[in-house]
Amino acid sequence: MTARPVPLPASPAVEPVAAPRPAGLFLVATPIGNLGDITLRALELLRSADVIACEDTRHSGRLLSHYQISRPLLSLNEHNEARRIPELVARIQQGAQVALISDAGMPTVSDPGQRLTQAVVAAGLLVQVLPGPSAVLTALAGSGLPTTPFHFGGFLPHKKGQRAKELAAAREREATSVYFESPYRLVDTLDIICQEAPEHLHVVARELTKHFEEFMRGSARSLLKHYQQKTVKGEICLLVAPKELPRWVTWHSASTEPSSP
């Protein structure tokens, strides 16, 4: 008689062991409004970091509390970045994992952290970016304007003359230009544009990913009229159409009423 083969017992499931993360500076993108937009990878890093450098410890504390993350926080802003750099570089050299976050979006992009990142790179240490939310790319993607190429100019200048000069340069580019603007200056900025180019197309992207998200598209004249009739609130991206639009951009002949997701 031929013996039947005896089945071997199943091997127990083995949980994969995550490789230890090396020392370095980790730039972590955080939500620009909707807290649900944070990535799983970002949460994992923030839970394990030795220290989290943030623009405002109180603001970031609310985000971390929402996800039940309790790690040491260290303020890093435009006023103290130069002073913090030697301390944070020394920590990384000693084996620490330093996470850098800003109040919203990708750190170092119109936010503190550029000088720290440069110093870490100059010291021959690891810099790793954890991608995620970005107000610039969110506004650009939903604008209805050409997305390549594009120019990001950060915050528009406070002084009217410099602002007018920058906006004039934007209208001459063969690219869509994206700027941050204060809600308190938006009407004034649109008025500046209307003095030179009232029919040039612009997009105002306001309160992105939040409950009152709004995209307003149209000529500078129509946008000025709209915002003169309401109180402007929230975070704003102002997009300036390139000098010449491709033929496939046709929305300017349609309604410019605000659209919401």
Does pLDDT of 63 surpass 90?
Answer: yes
Cα first-last separation, the chain: 73
Q: Quick count: other Cβ atoms within 10 Å of Cβ 231?
A: 6
Cα→Cα distances 31→20, 42, 106, 180, 209, Å = 26, 11, 9, 17, 9
DSSP, res 259: B
Domains of the chain plus CATH, in order, are 24-130 (3.40.1010.10), 135-253 (3.30.950.10)
Render pLDDT for 8-21 as a digit per residue (tens, 0 to 9): 455 445 444 455 77
The stretch 85-104 carries a mean pLDDT of: 97
Higher confidence at residue 89 or residue 6? 89
Q: Quick count: other Cβ atoms within 10 Å of Cβ 206?
A: 23
Does pLDDT of 7 surpass 70?
Answer: no
Question: Which pLDDT score is estimated for 202?
Answer: 98
The mean predicted confidence, pLDDT, of the chain is 91
The three-point CA angle 59-26-136 to 5° equals 65
Q: In degrees to the nearest 10, what's the CA dihedral of 175, 31, 211, 223?
A: -20
Render pLDDT for 131-152 as a digit per residue (tens, 0 to 9): 999 999 999 999 999 999 999 9
Does pLDDT of 259 surpass 50?
Answer: no
Q: Quick count: other Cβ atoms within 10 Å of Cβ 257?
A: 10
| Token code pair at residue 102 | 């800003």
| Token code pair at residue 228 | 């003169």
Quick one: pLDDT band at residue 252, thresholds 50, 70, 90? confident
Give the 3-state secondary structure of residue 228: helix
For residue 89, which amino acid is it? V
Quick one: pLDDT band at residue 260, thresholds 50, 70, 90? very low
**Alpha-carbon span 17 to 176, nearest angstrom:** 46
The stretch 194-213 carries a mean pLDDT of: 96
Q: pTM for the complete prediction?
A: 0.86
By C-alpha distance, which of 154, 202, 146 is closest to 176? 146
The stretch 72-100 carries a mean pLDDT of: 96
Q: CB within 8 A of 217, min separation 6: which ones? A: 143, 144, 201, 202, 203, 251, 252, 256
